[in-house]
Chain A
């Protein structure tokens, strides 16, 4: 136990080597972006879209692996798997959008259908992948369960840059996104491009989920988009402040999760991040200043 605490302290104070520190900071940046983007998905009642997109990356990952194996490339190279995941994420978003507009389908059904179909196709492709002897499957494992430890400094920098971009975009259209989330009909009559702003939030969430795959894995990547906003909601009754708190909770969860996973060498990063986020959520549920069960005003 003493050993564990000593290690944890060493990691948290950036004293565990350059790579570990870079990975933790990259994760924190991504968690921050995920919390901010996820808040508007939550307020608009579209959280499940990110979950569907995350599940739908599985066929993209497996498909990219198969293609790489077929043409004799090392799948780990050159972001093959991430590319596959990104394409699948984009296609699933487009499918949800298109299906959701059909009057006899509706957004909820469209989202659930894409989630189920994407995941089903992914599992089928994965069983095919497992019959292959070509190629090492280590890269695949990373995307399925998450392993920040293997992250290269370049990847961490890319992640930080992406997080900065997401925060900039969200910050730039904060008042428009708030107006649309609260009352899309009024926003439309006031002349806001509601469909495009909705698409922007969905796209940003999808980008964050795909970027989070190497850290958190495809099932848990969505947790960074979902849990921090839900926890932040207990602390404030102002949308702008909820966004900031969600970003902070996302950053802390990802940072601490990556640190925990570095100390407990057998624990993948994804579950570690989710456990930290869940702990913060529970605290918020009980002690949140705005609407926590124990300390809330309401």
Chain B
């Protein structure tokens, strides 16, 4: 049967580089001359769950895309002092669900396997061992029964879980997720949050663009409040205050 991977059986790589912090210095992005991010300097926590929050158009998604090199930016992005590009192998990206065409001819298993495309190497098939690992990842997100289903035939929450499983397939130390809880059903949300907790216990860093202010404090240990500039950053208890949110959103908000 499909065995779940016990947390303490995770590769050692996840823990040995704990001090290799992700640091963003003076990062700016502009789209056609309109600034989207201005001089963002942020030192991510070493591990744990971090939320990036801010109003619409604050540049939350843009920040993780800029860190990942998907949009051009100026500034410095390093992991443990080395350029981000050299740390690509220890990162994973879980994009917004709406960013792809779900009509694509692929099954859930096919999509999860794409997370292993680089480790497999050129000119080689994924092979049985990776196929089994992909199946156990699908099991971990509660989709073992749907591994052979065309991805367009799944619910939004299931699609989001397939994306998460593909990200997990990268076996990354730093995971970037763009709105992973947006528009998903309660069951999917529960499963995704359980995976987050497991990742946190395992010493990994989960950076999550998040829209729901009401759940930030209970779910995330750290927060980055953004509105084109960094408004506040740090442990949720200190950085996620009504004053900070009033500055970020321009209106007083109760949390």
Contacts and interface: CB of A to CB of B under 8 A. Distances in A.
Interface string B62-96: 00010011100000000000000000110111010
B106 A192 contact: no
B69 A190 contact: no
Interface in A259-298: 290, 298
A293 to B, nearest CB: 15
A173 B89 CA distance: 20
A161 interface: no
A191 B95 CA distance: 15
Given A237-B106, A237-B107, A183 B68 contact: no
A153 B237 CA distance: 79
Nearest to A181: B104
B117 A176 contact: yes
Interface string A165-182: 000000011011011011
Given A183-B95, A185-B95, A186-B93, A237 B114 contact: no
A245 B8 CA distance: 45
Contacts of B150: 237, 290, 298
A234 to B, nearest CB: 10
B107 A173 contact: no
Nearest to B169: A190
A189 B92 CA distance: 7
Contacts of A34: none
A238 B100 CA distance: 16
Nearest to A241: B105
Contacts of A241: 105
A238 B110 contact: yes
Given A178-B114, A182-B111, A237-B150, A190 B105 contact: no
Q: Is the interface of A mostly helix, strand, loop or mixed?
A: helix
Interface residues of A, number: 28
A111 to B, nearest CB: 19
B106 A238 contact: yes
Nearest to A45: B101
B117 A192 contact: yes
Contacts of B107: 237-238
A172 B166 contact: no
Given A103-B32, A190-B117, A239 B93 contact: no
Given A189-B68, A233-B105, A173 B122 contact: yes
A295 to B, nearest CB: 16
A159 B139 CA distance: 47
Contacts of A179: 114, 117
A187 B114 CA distance: 8
Given A185-B70, A186-B95, A191 B89 contact: yes
A47 interface: no
A190 B113 CA distance: 12
A160 B251 CA distance: 69
A256 to B, nearest CB: 25
A93 B100 CA distance: 25
Contacts of A43: 104-105
A178 B70 contact: no
Contacts of B100: 182-183
B125 A175 contact: yes
B196 to A, nearest CB: 19
B16 interface: no
Interface in B133-186: 150, 152-153, 166, 170
A182 B113 CA distance: 12
A233 B152 CA distance: 14
B161 to A, nearest CB: 15
B122 A176 contact: yes
A188 interface: yes
16 contacts: A43-B104, A173-B122, A175-B114, A183-B95, A185-B65, A185-B93, A190-B114, A190-B115, A190-B170, A236-B105, A237-B106, A237-B107, A238-B110, A290-B150, A298-B150, A298-B153
**Would you list the 6 A-B pairs with minimal beta carbon distance, nearest first?**
A237-B150, A189-B93, A179-B114, A191-B118, A179-B117, A189-B68
Interface of B: 32, 65, 68-70, 88-89, 91-93, 95, 99-101, 104-107, 110-111, 113-115, 117-118, 120, 122-123, 125-126, 150, 152-153, 166, 170
